[in-house]
Structures are given as C-alpha cells and as structure tokens.
Amino acid sequence: MWQKYQYFGASWTSNFDKTRTSAKDKVTWFEKSKEIILSRGNSKDEAVINMIEDLFDLLMVIYGISDEGKKQVVESFVPRICALVIDSRVNICIQQETLKKMNAMLDKMPQDARKILINQEMLILMNSMGERILDAGDYDLQVGIVEALCRMTTEKQRRELACRWFSMDFIANAFKGIKDSEFETDCRIFLNLVNGMLGDKRRVFTFPCLSAFLGKYELQIPSDEKLEEFWIDFNLGSQTLSFYIAGDNDDHQWEAVTVPEEEVQIYSIEDPNIYLSPHTTGTV
C-alpha cells in the first residue's frame, strides 16, 4: 500500500504542470486522495498523512501564484476540505493535519475574499462543523475547527451565524466572545464551556494541571494573563493526552504537546465531582 501512495504522491508533481492543469484535474486529485483516505478507515496511516501534505503543498503553490489561483483553490477545495473534516469515517490525525493546512491557507486569504465562502453550500458545511465540535473527541481538532470557522468569516458574520452553529444561547454567546487577537485563551474558555456542558456525553475531559515535566524539565504555562490554569485534556476520540505549553519565542507563544495512550504508564486525578475510568482513557 505504501508504494501505491508513494507513486500517487509523486505522480502529480511529475506528470502535471502545477501552473497549467485545469481546476477539474486538481479536483480529481483531491477526490482520489479522499478515496484512499476512506479506504484506510479510521486507522492512522503515516503514508496517507504524507500524501495529504504533498497535496496541500501543491495547493499552496497554486494558491500563491495569483489572485485567480487563490480564488480557484478557495472555491474548489475549501468546501471539500470542510466535508473531509466533518466525516466521522476519517481518522482524527488526518483531520487535524488537513485543518492545519487549510487554516494556514485561510490565513493568507485577503479579507475581501471571504465573501466567496458565504454561499448556501458553505453555510451548511459550517453548521456541520459547529456540530462536529461537540463530538470531535480531541481538543486540538476542536481548536482547528473553531479556528477555521473564525478564519472563514468576519467577526460580524460570526455574530450572525453563531446561533445557527450552536443551539444553546450561552454557547453561541461564548463563541461570539472569541477575539482574533486573543484566540488561544478565548478558544480555551469556549471549549471548556462546551465540553463541560456535555457532561457524561463529552469526549474531551479537561482538568487543571498542577505541573508537567518532560524528563527533569518542568514545562511552563503559556504566558497569557487571561489564562488562569495549566489545562490538560484527556481526548477519548484520539486516545491521547494533550496540553499547551509556553513556546520558545515571542512569535510562537503556544506549543501543543500530545502524548499517545500507549506512552502513558499511570496518572492520578483528584476531583470529587468527576470519575474518569482508566479503561475509558485507555491507559496502560
């Protein structure tokens, strides 16, 4: 199977000119990629992740060539990427990687280009992305979806659309409170509220962490006056522990750390209000 992916990944750079192929050809590549992704089911496959990276590298080249390239990528691929993210048949790691690439693309999109995304198809997909946040089962995936919704809309549009995305007023209002300038902390406040509201149905359990060490080095909480706790997330969907620590420079103040379940030997939680079964978290 690896040879199949490797050949497919190489073929689009050797057999097609990146700047001359039609939009139809590029969509065909994406649809073939999706077929391969779905054929692997919910299993994590590094070859598929590498294939996704190759595909997005190509899209970013096209995106950066001209305004027409940007329009072509946004119109043809953002809806397809969103559909991939909300598809429960796709492995969470692949959805995370896809979201990271799409958000990087949206970050370079001019403000006035966002109007391309406000159409009936995208409004339906955005509604589904809002629903996906509730059962994502991974905090990092939830953050990626929230970021995508914020990048695809203006603050004014978010205020209008939040009530469609979230049926409960206090959740919709919390989403409206996310500011672009303070995204990480506002997003944490929002997602803690969402996951807490779900009660026993939640798939991300979040606790304040007293301290965290990597070997003998103590990890530090991100430097943000609005961040009151050092949070750690138990992700039932991806079967991981994750937390955000202080980055190593001013441009990268937040850094995600993810620990797979197979690397967790033991943990202890002290919270009289919540019982988290070791079998549920998959510790060893």
Q: Give the integer Cα–Cα distance in Å for 207 and 234.
A: 8
**Distance of CA 110 to CAs 82, 103, 114, 151, 283, Å?**
19, 13, 7, 10, 45
Same domain assignment for residues 65 and 79: yes
Full-model pTM: 0.83
The per-residue pLDDT for 59 is: 82
**Alpha carbon distance 230, 243 (integer Å):** 8
Final residue belonging to a domain, choices 201, 225, 257: 201
Token pair belonging to 41: 């089911």
Same-domain check for residues 112 and 219: no
Q: Is residue 15 part of a domain?
A: no
Say which residues have a Cβ less than 8 Å from residue 216's Cβ, sequence separation at least 6. none
98 lies in the same domain as 239: no
185 in the same domain as 99: yes
Structurally, how many domains does the chain consist of? 2
What is the rounded distance in angstroms from the CA atom of residue 106 to the CA atom of residue 146?
Answer: 13
**Residue 34 sits in the same domain as residue 148:** yes
- Per-residue pLDDT in tens (0 to 9) along the chain, 284 residues: 333 444 344 444 433 344 445 556 778 888 888 888 888 877 777 888 888 888 888 888 887 787 777 778 888 889 999 999 999 889 998 999 899 989 988 888 777 777 778 889 999 999 999 999 999 999 999 999 999 999 999 888 899 999 999 999 999 999 999 998 889 889 999 999 999 999 889 999 998 887 777 778 888 887 777 777 888 899 999 999 988 887 776 655 678 888 888 887 777 666 555 544 433 333 33
Say whether both 208 and 156 belong to one domain: no
pLDDT value at residue 49: 83
Last residue of a domain, one of 181, 201, 221: 201
Q: Is residue 10 domain-resident?
A: no
Among 184, 201, 218, residue at a domain's last position: 201
Which tokens sit at 267? 């943990």
Handedness of CA 244, 136, 200, 168 (dihedral sign): positive
Quote the domain boundaries for residue 211: 203-283
Q: Does any domain span residue 72? A: yes
Shared domain for 118 and 240, answered yes or no, is no
195 and 218 together in one domain:
no
Instruction: Report how far residue 159's alpha carbon sits from residue 173's, in angstroms, rounded to the nearest whole number.
Output: 8
Rounded distance between C-alpha atoms, residue 190 and residue 35, angstroms: 34
Rounded to the nearest 10 degrees, the angle between the axes of helix 120-135 and helix 139-151 is: 160
